[in-house]
Amino acid sequence: LRLAKKKKEKTIVKVGNVEIGKDFVIMAGPCSVESEEQTITIAKYVKEAGANILRGGAFKPRTSPYSFQGLGLKGLKILAKARELTGLPIITEVIDPRDVQWVSEFVDILQIGARNMQNFSLLKEVGKVNKPVMLKRGMHSTIVEWLSCAEYILNEGNPNVILCERGIRSFETYTRNTLDISAVSVVKTLSHLPVIVDPSHATGRPELIPPMSLASVASGADGIMVEVHHKPEEALSDGAQALLPEEFNTLVKQVRNLVNCM
């Protein structure tokens, strides 16, 4: 590891009026952008509750080719409209190196998903754009492999890299993945990059999102990313792990209270 460690001071990624790495950031929104009505409704809820950044997938990396794959360009236009209405910056996943340039013009942060963590041509592409990149940890990747992937992006000249711990595969099946909470503290010592925790994909269970969010704060994370849906039973992806708007509202209060005690 060269670049991730070399810098003396911590990287702070400025997005809108939030400084990731300094302010505790809460990213929230639906797993997928499903319609204008759905995304704008959720965007207004999360803004009202105190989220800083709106998430939503327009390109979905689904396990099955028969599952909903995302709305693509139409989804990006919906996200842009939600940003206009709420003022929240937007983060979305990009899954194809050929889409990186034009997608980067629509969004405030590009997300590299767990399944693409070691897609080196994709990493090099996002390293060339002038937008921050959030790199999720692969579910089967070590901490050093994850940081090496961050180096691929940094090496291309993009200094604005954010890490995201989203759980790893283990023998445990009660939870969707196993949140590696100690990895947060480890990467805070091994690198100068901000680290976000995604308790939604890490646990797959809404009741575990509040305790794991608080554990993230205690472990030194710079923020969380949470999936929220107002009609989880109708969601086209990950409805089972979505928090309802009122549950998210309570979570934000608990998390901000703990952040203030730290």
Q: Is 161 in the site for ligand PEP (CB under 6 A)?
A: no
Tokens of residue 212, six digits = 């794991």
CB of 238 to Mn ion, least distance (A): 4
CB of 3 to ligand PEP, least distance (A): 23
The residue range among 19-27, 112-120, 141-149, 251-259 that interacts with ligand PEP, by the rule CB under 6 A, is: 112-120
- Judged by CB under 6 A, the residue of 114, 126, 183, 196 near ligand PEP is 114
What are the CA-CA distances from residue 141 to residues 86, 116, 180 (Å)?
Answer: 36, 11, 11
* Residue closer to ligand PEP (CB basis): 57 or 245: 57
- Judged by CB under 6 A, the residue of 47, 166, 176, 229 near ligand PEP is 166
Q: Is 75 in the site for ligand PEP (CB under 6 A)?
A: no
- Judged by CB under 6 A, the residue of 83, 131, 136, 188 near ligand PEP is 136
Q: Is 47 in the site for ligand PEP (CB under 6 A)?
A: no
CB of 2 to ligand PEP, least distance (A): 26
- Judged by CB under 6 A, the residue of 11, 27, 93, 210 near ligand PEP is 93
Tokens of residue 114, six digits = 């767990």
Pairing of strands 18-20, 13-15: antiparallel
Measured at CB, which residue is nearest to Mn ion? Answer: 31
Judged by DSSP in three states, 220 sits in: coil
Phi and psi dihedrals of 122, rounded to 5?
-65, -40
Reference 95, options 122, 75, 77, 71; nearest CA is 122
SS (HEC) of 147-200:
HHHHHHHHHCCCCCEEEEECCECCCCCCCCCECCHHHHHHHHHHCCCCEEECHH
Site string for ligand PEP, 236-255 (x = CB under 6 A): --------------------
Nearest-angstrom CA–CA distance, 25 and 51: 8
CB of 100 to Mn ion, least distance (A): 21
CB of 124 to ligand PEP, least distance (A): 19
Nearest-angstrom CA–CA distance, 53 and 223: 11
Nearest-angstrom CA–CA distance, 75 and 82: 11
Q: Which residues bind ligand PEP (CB under 6 A)?
A: 31, 57, 61, 93, 113-115, 136, 166, 198, 201
